[in-house]
């Protein structure tokens, strides 16, 4: 039976290290499944959620609308439109977004080919942003890769008064933002670029609970290694190190993305929103600091594990050496008295004719053992 951590490590190898691309020689902006993604045909199309609102308090929500409805709402300059796609979109859905909202085909191609590095790009009609959402599998749902760290790509499009968000994962993390919109909060009094900030801030802050849980696991793992450096602890440590590598690869470029949105040359971003993006950038820096700190902690725990294993081996070798050293003079004595030259010679062993010679030899050997143990203890070898 395979160890459960082996499945989690295999899942980690599939996360954040593979990128889907078109076949060599295909034209740019081609909306077709990438090479090696034949299983996409078996996936259901992404679920569409449309929400548009005004500062006066009107909020409209639609489930699985046609993209034409989003384009119609976006035509109203007084209305902020948010179209969210949950799941992996099909090429037909992306083509519909291209035709109705004018999204650039190169950006839509990056959406279709998951595994992209976090980035921010500017087009004439919209701003395109890719960030990564790091989550863990749900053990309660019977996920065979439960506990495995997975990376979902989140693509964001910011237009004049619309935002399109595409999350190719299974879980929707943007429900708190919808609740803020329904509650007639500050988000409804500002423009679409503030909605983009709210989505980015939700994605960035989702890393803090994950890092808190990982930090608790590392502390528990440290206690386990110090008490018993077994193979199970080594496997957990190896998995934690691989998990931190995935997190670093997913989160490290996001600082650059948010910093690029804060610059004055970023279109569709107002100066008032850049202040909030600066706070989001600070959170991203803190997350990277946590990741680097935990990576150093994991590396130091590996040194502690190797030291504990080496110390345990030294203790075993010390015990065996003590036993061998104690039996060395005893072996010499028994071998010496095993030479039974029982003749009438004054050079032979006189103890062979003593009445209590056997008891004398046993007492001699016990005295040697006691003396050696006392000497070892005084030298602190025991």
Residue 85: pLDDT over 90: yes
Strands 119-122 and 149-158: unpaired
In this prediction, residue 137 carries a pLDDT of: 65
Across the range 225-230, mean pLDDT stands at 81
Confidence class of residue 234 from pLDDT cuts 50, 70 and 90? confident
Between helices 231-262 and 271-336, what is the axis angle to 10°? Answer: 160
Go through the domains of the chain in sequence order and give each one's CATH number.
Answer: 4-307 (3.30.460.20), 313-378 (1.20.58.340)
- For 136-185, write each residue's pLDDT tens digit: 765 334 443 445 678 899 999 999 899 999 998 888 899 999 999 888 77
Question: Model pTM?
Answer: 0.77
Instruction: Return d(Cα 357, Cα 342) in angstroms, integer.
Output: 14
Contacts of 146 (CB under 8 A, 6+ apart): 137, 138, 139
Instruction: Provide the CB-side half-sphere exposure for 39 (13 A, CA).
Output: 2
Instruction: Return d(Cα 120, Cα 48) in angstroms, integer.
Output: 23
- For 36-52, write each residue's pLDDT tens digit: 554 555 567 889 999 99
């Amino acid at each position: 039976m395979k160890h459960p951590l082996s499945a989690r490590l295999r899942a980690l190898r599939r996360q954040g290290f593979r990128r889907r691309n078109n076949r060599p020689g295909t034209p740019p902006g081609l909306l077709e499944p990438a090479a090696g993604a034949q299983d996409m045909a078996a996936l259901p199309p992404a679920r569409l959620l449309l929400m548009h609102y005004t500062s006066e308090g009107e909020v409209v929500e639609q489930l699985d609308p046609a993209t034409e409805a989003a384009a119609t709402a976006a035509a109203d300059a007084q209305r902020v439109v948010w179209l969210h796609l949950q799941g992996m979109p099909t090429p037909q859905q992306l083509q519909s977004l291209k035709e109705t909202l004018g999204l650039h085909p190169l950006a839509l191609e990056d959406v279709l080919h998951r595994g992209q590095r976090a980035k921010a790009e500017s087009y004439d009609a919209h701003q395109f942003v890719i960030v990564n959402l790091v989550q863990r599998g749900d053990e309660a749902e019977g996920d065979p890769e439960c506990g495995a760290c997975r990376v979902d790509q989140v693509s964001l499009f910011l237009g004049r008064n619309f935002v399109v968000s595409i999350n190719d994962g299974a879980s929707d993390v943007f429900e708190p933002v919808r609740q803020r919109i329904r509650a007639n909060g500050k988000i409804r009094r500002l423009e679409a670029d503030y909605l983009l900030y709210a989505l980015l801030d939700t994605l960035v802050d989702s890393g803090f609970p994950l890092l808190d849980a990982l930090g608790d696991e590392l502390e528990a793992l440290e206690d386990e290694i110090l008490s018993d450096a077994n193979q199970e602890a080594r496997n957990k440590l190896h998995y934690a190190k691989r998990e931190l590598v995935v997190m670093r690869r997913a989160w490290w470029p996001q600082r650059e993305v948010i910093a690029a949105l804060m610059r004055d040359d970023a279109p569709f971003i107002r100066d008032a929103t850049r202040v909030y993006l600066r706070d989001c950038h600070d959170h991203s820096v803190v997350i990277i600091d946590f990741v680097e700190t935990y990576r150093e902690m994991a590396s130091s725990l590996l040194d502690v594990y190797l030291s504990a294993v080496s110390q345990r081996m030294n203790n075993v070798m010390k015990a065996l050496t003590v036993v061998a050293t104690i039996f060395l003079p005893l072996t010499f004595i028994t071998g010496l008295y095993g030479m039974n030259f029982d003749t009438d010679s004054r050079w032979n062993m006189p103890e062979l004719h003593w009445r209590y010679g056997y008891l004398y030899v046993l007492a001699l050997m016990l005295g040697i053992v006691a003396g050696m143990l006392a000497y070892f203890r005084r030298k602190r070898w025991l």
